[in-house]
Amino acid sequence: MFMRRTILAAATAAIALAGLAGTASAADPSWKKDVPVIRVGILGGEADADRLARYDGFEKLLESTFNVKVELYPASDYAGVMQGMAAGQLDLAEFGASGYAGLWLDCKCVEPLVVTKEDDGSTGYFSVLYVKSDSPYQKIEDLKGKTLAFADPNSTSGYLIPNFQLKDQGFDPAKFFGSTNFAGGHEQGVVAVMKGQYDAGVTWISGQGDPAVGYSRGALRSMVDKKMLDMKDLRILWQSTLIPNGPWATRTALPEAFRKDMLEFLTKLPVDHPDIYQAVEKGTGSGFAPVTNDFFSAIIKMRETEATARRS
C-alpha cells in the first residue's frame, strides 16, 4: 500500500531548510513510548519524488522538535492514506475534506487538528472544471457528450463536490458527459487533459491571488511552480461554491499529549518556518485554524448520501 521513502538526491535540496540547523534536540516527549516513530501519510496526486521533496523539511523539523524518528509514506491514491490510518499504520496525515469524512464514517478513528487558512483568513477553497485554452469549449453546455477526468474517488474537489453540484445544476456527469473516469490524481488529470486524452478535468484552487500563476494555492499553482503548466494553456469554465479545507488529522487512539503537541507544532509552523508551510500546503496562506469534526458535518452528510445512492 505504501512506498517507503527513497533517496531523493538533488530533489530535496529544493526545499529551504534555513532555521533548522540551529534547532536544539528536544527532550523526549511523554508519548514517545507509545509513538516511537511518527508515521506521516502523504496523499497521492503527484509524482512520489515531488511529494517527498515537498515534505523533506517537514520531516526534519518534526524529528528535531520532538527527538523522534519520522517516516514518510506516500500512498498511490487517497484511499491508501485512509486505509493506513484506519489500520493504525499512520499517525499523522493531511486529508481532503471528503477523504476525512469517508474515513470518519468508516471507523470513527480519526480526529482533525487544523485546516489551512487562505490569504484572507477564510478556511475554504474551490473546485474548478477546466479545458485546454485552444479547445472550442467556452461554457459547460459545450461539453455535452464529451469526456471528463475526475481526479480521485475520495477527492473533495476532484470528485465529490463537482459531481454533486454539477448534477444540481442540471449537468449530471453520469448522463451529460459521454464518459467520465478517474485520472489517478489532480496532477495526472491536468496532464491528461493537456495531452488531449480528456476534453475536460476538475481540480482545486484557492480562488485568491493571481490566476496567471495558478492563484495563491492549489494543484494548478503547484504545477505552475514546478514548470509543468502554463496557465495560458488552460481555461476554467466552472467553479464550485466554497469547500471547507481538508484537515491535518491524527488517530483517536493516540495519546492526548501527542495530539496537543501536533496541534501546537502545526499552529507554529507557518510563522516559524513559512518555507516548509508553503511547501506542504502547495502555496501561500495565512496559517492554520483549529477545527473539530463539526466543521466537516456537511461533507460527512454528502458522503453518506453518496454511499446510500450507490447501494440503492
The pLDDT, as a whole number, for residue 305 is 87
Question: Please, what is the Cα angle at 281 between 303 and 67, to 5 degrees?
Answer: 105
CA 114 – CA 95 distance, rounded (Å): 11
What is the average pLDDT score of the chain? 90
Q: What pLDDT does residue 14 have?
A: 36
**Rounded CA gap, 41 and 250, in Å?**
10
Q: How many Cβ atoms from other residues are within 10 Å of residue 5's Cβ? A: 18
Show the CA angle centred on residue 103, arms to residues 97 and 105, nearest 5°. 100
- Among 5-14, 133-142, 160-169, 188-197, name the one with the lowest average pLDDT: 5-14
- Look up the pTM and report it: 0.79
Tell how strand 287-290 and strand 110-117 pair up: antiparallel
The pLDDT of residue 312: 65
Give the confidence band of 244 by pLDDT, cuts at 50, 70, 90. Answer: very high
pLDDT at 7 over 90: no
**Which of 25-34, 144-153, 196-205 has the weakest average pLDDT?**
25-34
- Residues 91, 250 contacting (CB under 8 angstroms): yes
Residue 52: band (very low, low, confident or very high) from pLDDT cuts 50, 70, 90: very high
DSSP for 268-306, please give it.
HHHHH-HHHHHHHTTB--SEEEE--GGGGHHHHHHHHHH
Q: What is the mean pLDDT of residues 43-65?
A: 91
Q: For residues 10 and 26, what is the distance between their CA atoms, to the nearest angstrom?
A: 28
Instruction: Compute the average pLDDT of residues 199-209.
Output: 96
> Averaged over 31-38, what is the pLDDT?
96
In sign, the C-alpha dihedral spanning 72, 80, 4, 188 is negative
Query: Which amino acid does the sequence have at 3?
Result: M
Rg of the chain's alpha carbons, rounded to an integer? Answer: 19
Average pLDDT estimate for 176-201: 97
pLDDT at 23: 38
Q: Which helix (H) or strand (E) holds 49?
A: helix 48-66
Instruction: Check residue 120 and give its pLDDT.
Output: 85
Pair 96, 157: CB distance under 8 Å: yes
Sheet with 247-251, edge to edge strand ranges: 69-74, 37-42, 92-94, 247-251, 110-117, 287-290
> Residue 220 and residue 186: Cα distance in Å, rounded?
9
The Cα-based distances of 8 to 53, 60, 81 in angstroms read 7, 14, 21
Using the predicted structure, report yes or no on whether residue 113 has a pLDDT greater than 60: yes
